Every structure is written in C-alpha cells, then in structure tokens.
Chains A and B, each alone.
Chain A
Amino acid sequence: EDQVTQSPEALRLQEGESSSLNCSYTVSGLRGLFWYRQDPGKGPEFLFTLYSAGEEKEKERLKATLTKKESFLHITAPKPEDSATYLCAVRASNSGYALNFGKGTSLLVTP
C-alpha cells in the first residue's frame, strides 16, 4: 500500500533560521512527488513536482530534492510569510492522476 509520511508534524523557526522538512514515501511506481503550501482555510498552492531521484527544483527560499525513498523541502532564511502547512503528495503508476497526501508539516516562522 502506498504511504506518505511527513516529519516533523510541526516546526517552529526563528526568522532566518534555515531548516528542512521531510517526506518519506513508499509507492508502487512513482509518477511524481508533489509539494504544496496550504494556508488556513485555503486550497493547496502548487510549489514543485519532482519525477526522478536526484532531481532538484528551487523557488525563492524553497528547494525540493528527491531520492528513491524521500524528498526534502529546504527552507533557506525563512520569513514569517513562509508560515503555512506544507503538504507532500505522491502519484503512483496505478492511481491514474490522483494524489496520495501526507499529513503535512505545520511551519511557524517567528520574527
């Protein structure tokens, strides 16, 4: 059975304090690993898709990496506006285009 596990559940950082969020997965035939940002009461906002081990993508202070077992979302010098829940999801070869989500990491960046 496909599984997506995110850690930590919650993370509190000082502004400027870099850190990483983890997404471990087991899936039969990975067809994409997705990172989203979700603000309270809003739908997920697309950040990245990674398709193969070794792939990396960057956007502003965020960088996503992928191995065969896990993905990391690195946050460099975060700002308070980066506070949100970050969701990881995988698409498996036997699931069509549906996504299987982890429970998310709730990030709080304090000034």
Chain B
Amino acid sequence: GAVVSQHPSRVICKSGTSVKIECRSLDFQATTMFWYRQFPKQSLMLMATSNEGSKATYEQGVEKDKFLINHASLTLSTLTVTSAHPEDSSFYICSATKPDRGSVNTEAFFGQGTRLTVV
C-alpha cells in the first residue's frame, strides 16, 4: 500500500528557533498534501493544504508567516515552524492523497507524525 514518511518523529527545540518537518510520499506522486495538528486527546485539525508548485492554502486562524509550507516536488512537502514558542508544542501530522487507479476516488494516507516540544 501507499506509504507516507514523516521526519523527524520527535524534536525538541528552544523557544525562538525554527524547526523543519518533512513529509514524503514514498511510492506515489502527491500533487496535494495536508498538514494537521493534534493536541492531546483531541482530534486532527487541518492547518493547511500544500500544493505542488504553488502557494499553500491556510485554514482560518493559522498564521502563514509562522507555519511556512513548501511543496517543491511531487513527493515532498515541508512545514517549518518559525520562531517557535511553547504554545506551538503539539503533534504535527502530514497526509497525502493517492488516486485510486481507474476511479475518481482517492485514499488519504498519513505520516507517522512529529512530536514538537518547544522549551
């Protein structure tokens, strides 16, 4: 099946520094990837839609200057948390959609997630 790889799985950084998280689709090309955020015992909340070759689309309330998204190729999207603060500590998860061959349906697969702790 499809595999989406996310790296790193855990990162601890100092307040004020930036952190980059990578999301790769390993066996398919993904023109669209998604970034979600999950707080403890909460569900996944969509942050932004990453479009290959164009600007990302951010959900309401998500600061685009703080969460920089780059989708430079059909298999890689990156999320950079700039000037991180403790309130940015969370579980970040990426997703990529894979077209179901011969159908208009698409499946959505998720990365392993990145636990960000800002101290």
Give A contacts to B, CB under 8 Å. Answer: 32, 34, 36, 41-46, 49, 51, 87, 89, 91, 96-104
Contact = CB atoms under 8 A, between A and B. Distances in A.
Interface of B: 1, 4, 6, 32, 34, 42-46, 49, 91, 93, 95, 97, 105-113, 115
A104 B44 CA distance: 10
Contact of A43 (B46, B97, B112): B112
A51 B115 CA distance: 32
B105 A32 contact: yes
Contacts of A104: 43
Given A46-B107, A46-B109, A49-B105, A99 B49 contact: no
Contact of A44 (B49, B93, B115): B93
DSSP class of B's interface residues: helix, strand, loop or mixed? Answer: strand
Nearest to B95: A99
Nearest to A99: B108
A32 B109 CA distance: 14
Contacts of A46: 1, 107-110
13 contacts: A41-B91, A42-B112, A43-B110, A46-B109, A97-B32, A97-B108, A98-B34, A100-B46, A101-B43, A101-B45, A103-B42, A103-B43, A104-B43
